[in-house]
């Protein structure tokens, strides 16, 4: 299955320099970035059939990833 790439570099390419800077200077942003990355990798793994998760569990993981992405975007817009 050909899945969309949801890593933050593809989601917000125009903010790459800001993301790099904030990952070093803002611990909260760095934690959000790490959470998004971990959730994204987990979703990819489950969608590729590696590991087991319920449909509801996968949906909850996707919702959490979206919530974190929204928070990251708000920080990027203000920075």
Cα end-to-end distance, the chain, whole Å: 37
The tens digit of pLDDT for each residue in 37-54 reads 999 999 999 999 999 999
Measured CA to CA, the distance from residue 53 to residue 7 in angstroms comes to 21
Q: Which residue has better confidence, 2 or 76?
A: 76
Break the chain into its structural domains and give their ranges.
8-78
pLDDT of residue 73: 98
Contacting residues for 67 by C-beta, under 8 A, at least 6 apart? none
The tens digit of pLDDT for each residue in 11-27 reads 999 999 999 999 999 99
Measured CA to CA, the distance from residue 23 to residue 40 in angstroms comes to 17
């Amino acid at each position: 299955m050909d899945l969309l790439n949801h890593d933050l570099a593809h989601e917000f390419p125009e903010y790459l320099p800001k993301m790099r800077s904030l990952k070093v200077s803002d611990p909260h942003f760095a934690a959000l970035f790490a959470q998004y990355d971990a959730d994204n990798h987990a979703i990819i793994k489950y969608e590729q059939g590696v590991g087991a998760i319920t449909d509801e569990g996968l949906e909850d993981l996707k919702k959490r990833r979206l919530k974190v992405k929204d928070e990251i975007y708000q920080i990027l817009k203000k920075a």
